[in-house]
Amino acid sequence: QKEVEQDPGPLSVPEGAIVSLNCTYSNSAFQYFMWYRQYSRKGPELLMYTYSSGNKEDGRFTAQVDKSSKYISLFIRDSQPSDSATYLCAMSAEKTSYDKVIFGPGTSLSVIP
């Protein structure tokens, strides 16, 4: 079993739809949960992060963490064509400076005008 699993998609939605992206993980030591957005032929860029459990909202984006289920989600409200990208979840225990960030494989999202 991989440490972090994510449905690769592709996911195609009409403009204005609510998008739900999800990841599951197996390592209960993970404390930091991040979402990266990667446009075609670009490097990943941090979208938002959450520490431990709970929700975090930033504009149209909401990140949720459920540590009891080892499940995280990213919701995008009022999706726009500019949201078309690959979204990678990433996690880290960060208990020492030697802890690595583990990335999910990414979900490809297309928002159709």
Nearer residue to other proteins within complex by CB, 101 or 112: 101
Task: Using CB atoms within 10 Å of the CB of residue 88, give its burial: 0 to 12 exposed, 13 to 18 middle, 19+ buried.
Answer: buried
Token pair belonging to 98:
């030697």
Q: Classify residue 47 as left (phi > 0), alpha (psi -120 to 50) or beta.
A: alpha
User: How far apart are CB 15 and other proteins at their closest, in Å?
Assistant: 27
Nearer residue to other proteins within complex by CB, 61 or 103: 103
User: How far apart are CB 80 and other proteins at their closest, in Å?
Assistant: 23
Contacting residue, 44, 64, 74, 107, with other proteins by CB under 8 A? 44
Contacting residue, 1, 68, 69, 97, with other proteins by CB under 8 A? 97
| N-term to C-term CA, the chain | 37
User: How far apart are CB 111 and other proteins at their closest, in Å?
Assistant: 21
Instruction: Measure the CA–CA gap between 106 and 36, rounded to whole angstroms.
Output: 9
Residues that bind other proteins (CB under 8 A): 32, 34, 41-46, 49, 88, 90, 92, 94, 97-101, 103-106
